[in-house]
Amino acid sequence: MTYRPIYVIPFFLSLIIACEQEVTDKNTNSLQYSRTPSHLQQPVYRLAVHPLYNPKKLSEAYQPLINHINHLMPEIKLELEASRNYQTYEKKFRKSEPAFLLPNPWQTLQAMKNRYHVIAMAGNADDFKGIFIVRKDSGIKQPADLKGRVVSYPSHTALAAAIMPQYFLHNNGIDIKQDIENRYVGSQESSIMNVYLKKSAAGATWPPPWRLFKKDFPEEAAQLELIWQTPPLLNNSVMVRDDVPLSIQTKVAKILTELGNTAETRVILDNMETVRFHAADDASYDRVRDYIKRFEKDVRPVESK
């Protein structure tokens, strides 16, 4: 069942607050214990999902998955952790804090350096692509029409929603350092809303947030359109820290890859705008490493704006 949030303040203000509000991050160790006798202790693990949506919407999308895993694995307790922006999220895995991660493919490569390895891929590879959203009344028809104008992105390290779109513009004759103003606005929704509010001429995002925006805000989405898209690459990963027991890793991976086999779990996937989870490992992301090398050679360092 999909729950639609109820807003009690004006739509635009609520979205800006949702995108910019500070979320209390859990900075404790990701493996925690309850105050029960030692023989009854239940380990608590956290799944940190990168900022696909604002924290409230992320919880609505992913909490059913957390509940499902907890139901099937009573020996542990899994908690969902949101982050207010990409940089906060990246600090967490660089400190090896959460036990489980759902990062984008570039973040996947970085997390491999910090005690994590891949156990699954979230979604089909062909759904991981950058897309450009413009207003229908913008008059923009080709990339050259963006010269001298603002393009919005969630973050400079967002692979599908910044890196891939900027490579697309580069390959279509745009010098992203000189020809346009790149504005990093914190979230996928903000990137889209900047277009709607005419703060940017085009907004980069990727298919799941755009589908969710159209579902939640059909009147606003009706004034926007998808104008270009990049070739696909490889979808987000699910990763686990190396000190999580192998039996737990294996069971979580099995639950993920079996989602969609029943009507009940199909709803969980639909809620996350994810077709299914696929088996994957570290080697699956070698193609992303090659792509990043080309991008950094031709366009900019990933961690530089």
What integer pLDDT is reported at residue 117 of this predicted model?
Answer: 98
Instruction: Tell me the backbone φ, ψ of residue 62, rounded to 5 degrees.
Output: -105, -15
Rg (CA), the chain: 19
The chain-wide mean pLDDT, for the chain, equals 89
Predicted confidence at residue 41, as pLDDT, reads 79
Residues 46, 98 contacting (CB under 8 angstroms): yes
Higher pLDDT, 26 or 220: 220
Residue matched to tokens 């020809």? 179
Instruction: List the single range of 14-23, 254-263, 290-299 with lowest mean pLDDT.
Output: 14-23
For the cut 70, the answer to whether the pLDDT of residue 1 exceeds it is no
Task: Return the pLDDT at 94.
Answer: 97
**Burial classification of residue 5, based on how many CB atoms lie within 10 Å of its CB (0-12 exposed, 13-18 middle, 19 or more buried):** exposed
Number of H helices, E strands in the chain: 11, 11
Domain covering 40-126+235-295 assigned CATH 3.40.190.10 in the classification: yes
Question: What is the predicted pLDDT for the residue at 75?
Answer: 96
**Is beta strand 277-278 parallel, antiparallel or unpaired with respect to 202-205?**
unpaired
Question: What tens digit of pLDDT does each residue of 171-181 get?
Answer: 999 999 999 99
C-alpha distances in angstroms, 41 versus 33, 77, 274? Answer: 6, 11, 33
Residue whose C-alpha is closest to residue 275's, from 285, 265, 283, 290: 265
Question: What would the mean pLDDT of 223-252 be, rounded to a whole number?
Answer: 97
Extents of the domains making up the chain: 40-126+235-295, 130-231
Position 251 pLDDT exceeds 60 = yes
The pLDDT value recorded for residue 71 is 97
pLDDT single digits (tens) 69-127 = 999 999 999 999 999 889 999 999 999 999 999 999 999 999 999 999 999 999 999 99
**What pLDDT was estimated at residue 174?**
98
Domain 40-126+235-295 and domain 130-231, same fold? Reply is: yes
- Mean pLDDT along residues 148-156: 97
pLDDT higher than threshold 50 for residue 149: yes
CATH 3.40.190.10 fits 130-231, yes or no: yes
Structure tokens at 258: 């079996």
Give pTM, 2 decimals: 0.81
Q: Average pLDDT of 204-220?
A: 94
